[in-house]
Structure 1
Amino acid sequence: MGMSDSVAFKTAMRRVPAPVTVISAAHRGERRGLTATAVCSVSAEPPQLLVCVNKRVRAHDAIGLAGYFGVNYLSHGQADVAHAFSSPSGAPGARFETGDWTEGETGAPLLRDALATFECRVVQAVDGGTHTLYIGEIVGMTDRDDLSLLYKSGLFSAA
């Protein structure tokens, strides 16, 4: 697959609506996080999620070193959180000034008013080219009934 195929792939994937999450981790008191749509369920028994994390982002190594991560599915009113965690500028910890964050039992940062949160223990890390696929066994979760924040073609919407 050449460079033009890579661009075409990214363009096509942007057309598919996806729920917006913030993947979060903390290692030695330093919190890291990123906005992501590449998250999916793996198994119900045991409950597991898969997250795809770019190897170049600061949160990547924090997840591997901590051995835990949080998946925070954003509600329709949390586009500001999505923007804060997708911007490459600024100090990494400053992102957590947007939103109401708490700490889970594992130390993973969790967004209090998210649509759903999942606290996960890393059970497998798979090399996926530019990304690492972290599979996490769920050790804690919350949810509430609200509209979800979706991302499609560079825009946020609610569903």
Structure 2
Amino acid sequence: MGMSDSAAFKTAMRRVPAPVTVISAAHRGERRGLTATAVCSVSAEPPQLLVCVNKRVRAHDAIGQAGYFGVNYLSHGQADIAHAFSSPSGAPGGRFETGDWTEGETGAPLLRDALATFECRVVQAVDGGTHTLYIGEIVGMTDRDDLSLLYKSGLFSAA
């Protein structure tokens, strides 16, 4: 796929509505996180999720080194958190000043009032070009009834 195909792919993917998450990890006292929509379930038995993490973001190495990560599905009123974790500027740990965060059993940062949180242990890491596909077995989860924050064509909405 050439450069123009890559741009066309990105444009097409932006048109598909997707739930917004913050993928989080902590290693040696350093918390890292990123906004992501490339998250999906893998299996119910055992319960597993897949997250696609760009190799250039700071959270990428933290996930690999810690061996654990959190997936925090944002609710409709949490676009400010999505923006904080998608911004390349600012101190990585400072992103966690937006929202009410706690530490899970594995040490992964979890958003207290997220729509759903999943604490995962990395069971496989697959090279996916610009990204690593981390498959995580769920070791803890929470959920609440609310509207989900969605991302489509550069905009946030609720569903």
TM-score bucket of the superposed structures, by smaller chain: over 0.9
Deviation at 1:147?
Answer: 0.2
d(CA) in 2 for partners of 1:75, 1:46: 26
* Corresponding residue of 1:115: 115
Number of residues paired by the alignment? Answer: 159
Per-residue CA distance 1:15-46 (angstroms, 9 max, x = gap):
00000000000000100000000000000000
Deviation at 1:149?
Answer: 0.1
Q: Once the two structures are aligned, what percentage of the paired residues are identical?
A: 97
* Corresponding residue of 1:103: 103
Per-residue CA distance 1:92-150 (angstroms, 9 max, x = gap):
00000000000000000000000000000000000000000000000000000000000
d(CA) in 2 for partners of 1:112, 1:135: 23
* Corresponding residue of 1:46: 46
d(CA) in 2 for partners of 1:9, 1:97: 34
* Corresponding residue of 2:27: 27
d(CA) in 1 for partners of 2:74, 2:16: 17
Q: Secondary structure at the match of 1:65?
A: helix
d(CA) in 2 for partners of 1:14, 1:123: 29
Misfit runs of 4+, over 3 Å: none
Please report the TM-score for the alignment, with normalisation by the length of structure 1. Answer: 1.00
* Corresponding residue of 2:64: 64
Q: Secondary structure at the match of 2:8?
A: helix
Unaligned runs of 5+ in 1: none
d(CA) in 1 for partners of 2:2, 2:118: 36
Deviation at 1:61?
Answer: 0.1
TM-align CA RMSD: 0.2
Please report the TM-score for the alignment, with normalisation by the length of structure 2. Answer: 1.00
d(CA) in 1 for partners of 2:111, 2:91: 19
Deviation at 1:63?
Answer: 0.0
